[in-house]
């Protein structure tokens, strides 16, 4: 007999990578597993993360949308780490495993830095490419490919105003991505309000979304490009980024270490409680 999802313990609702408690990604954190898909549908959050196991050295998680198992999500992992930090007595460096245990799942290292959890994205490499961005309305911009294994096209806009004014077109962005063998588009401008180092927006119609609200891996790809272009903060290994999807602001933190083959990157941020999930 299938358990009644309404009879299970209510999840805790978090906003991961929010900007002062606004925006980011809403995540319902369940402290136990079982009947995950039905409970995720009932939770009313875009993402639900179920803690399958926890001890001081790490977490095993499964992540669901209301309609399917997602596999892995950095935002969901950060919400779960924040929820379990004290309860499970987590060490400052742990391993996070996400996905179906029968498929082994995806394993990432996580560390607590200044009260924020950051997840290892790997080595971000970058190279300049020839790309016609005119179908997107961005003719004449230089283009780069940044990658930690999933390549994204990256371009710098001349100002924050130009970044905010950009209107995405799924067909045009998809065409440019196909032409450059990339999976998404990252647009950025240096600086921004609140003393951030870089402001960016992330688009991925080939990934199933027009514009993402909090994109850890796409920020890691951007950092690879910033490193190649000499635009990373000097005399520091920390970068503050603002993701500026209209109506859904996010703040992300990145630790980075320039290496000979690219930039080693960890990305994360705060996850703040947002009350009980509906």
Name the band, by pLDDT with cuts 50, 70 and 90, for residue 1: very low
What does the pLDDT read at residue 105? Answer: 80
Name the band, by pLDDT with cuts 50, 70 and 90, for residue 275: low
CA–CA distance, 223 with 215 (Å, rounded to integer): 12
What does the pLDDT read at residue 235? Answer: 86
Q: What is the pLDDT of residues 206-227, one digit of tens each?
A: 999 999 999 999 999 999 999 9
Q: What is the pTM of this model?
A: 0.92
Please say if the pLDDT value at position 121 is more than 50: yes
End-to-end CA distance of the chain: 25
Q: What residue ranges in 114-181 does DSSP mark as E strands?
A: 116-129, 143-147, 152-156
Whose CA is closest to 226, among 166, 160, 158, 155? 155
Q: What is the mean pLDDT of residues 216-243?
A: 96
* Alpha helices (runs of H) in 99-228, residue ranges in sequence order: 160-165, 170-180, 216-228
Name the band, by pLDDT with cuts 50, 70 and 90, for residue 278: very low
Q: What is the pLDDT of residues 55-108, one digit of tens each?
A: 999 999 999 999 999 989 999 999 999 999 989 999 999 999 998 777 778 999
Please say if the pLDDT value at position 2 is more than 50: no
Q: What is the mean pLDDT of the chain?
A: 93
Q: What is the pLDDT of residues 8-55, one digit of tens each?
A: 678 999 999 999 888 999 999 999 999 999 999 999 999 999 999 999
What does the pLDDT read at residue 239? Answer: 97
β-bridge mates for residue 51, sequence order: 61
The single-letter DSSP state of residue 135 is: G
Quickly tell me which residue has 């039905």 as its tokens.
Answer: 38
CA–CA distance, 51 with 63 (Å, rounded to integer): 9
CA–CA distance, 60 with 62 (Å, rounded to integer): 7
State whether the Cα torsion 39-45-47-52 is positive or negative: negative
Percentage of residues in the chain having pLDDT higher than 70: 96
**Would you say how long the chain is, in residues?**
278
Q: What is the mean pLDDT of residues 107-111?
A: 96
Could you tell me the CA-to-CA distances from 11 to 83, 262, 273 in Å, in that order?
A: 11, 40, 11
What does the pLDDT read at residue 8? Answer: 60
Q: Which residues does 238 contact at the CB level (< 8 Å), separation at least 6? A: 253, 254, 255, 256
DSSP 25-37: EEEEEESS-SSHH
């Amino acid at each position: 007999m299938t358990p009644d999802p309404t009879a299970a313990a209510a999840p805790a609702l978090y906003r991961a990578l929010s900007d002062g408690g606004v925006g980011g990604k809403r995540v319902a954190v369940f402290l136990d597993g079982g009947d995950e898909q039905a409970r995720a549908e009932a939770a009313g959050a875009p993402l639900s993360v179920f803690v399958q196991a926890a001890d001081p050295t790490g977490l095993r998680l499964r992540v669901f949308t209301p309609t399917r198992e997602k596999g892995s999500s950095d935002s969901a992992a950060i919400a779960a780490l924040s929820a379990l930090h004290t309860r499970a007595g987590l060490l400052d460096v742990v391993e996070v495993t996400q996905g179906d245990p029968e498929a082994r799942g995806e394993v990432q290292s996580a560390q607590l830095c200044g009260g924020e959890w950051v997840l290892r994205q790997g080595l971000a490499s970058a190279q300049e490419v020839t790309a016609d961005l005119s179908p997107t309305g961005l003719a004449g911009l230089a283009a780069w490919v940044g990658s930690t294994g999933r390549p994204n096209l990256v371009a710098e806009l001349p100002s924050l105003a130009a970044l905010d004014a950009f209107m995405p077109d799924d067909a045009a962005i998809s065409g440019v991505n196909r032409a450059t063998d990339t999976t998404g588009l990252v647009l950025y401008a240096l600086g921004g309000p609140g003393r951030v180092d870089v402001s960016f927006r992330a688009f991925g119609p080939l990934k199933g979304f027009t514009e993402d609200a909090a994109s850890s891996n796409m920020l890691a790809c951007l950092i690879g490009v910033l490193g190649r272009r000499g635009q990373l903060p000097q005399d520091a290994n920390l970068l503050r980024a603002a993701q500026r999807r209209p109506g859904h602001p996010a703040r992300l933190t990145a630790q980075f270490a320039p290496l000979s083959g690219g930039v080693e990157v960890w990305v994360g941020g705060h996850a703040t409680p947002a009350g009980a999930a509906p």
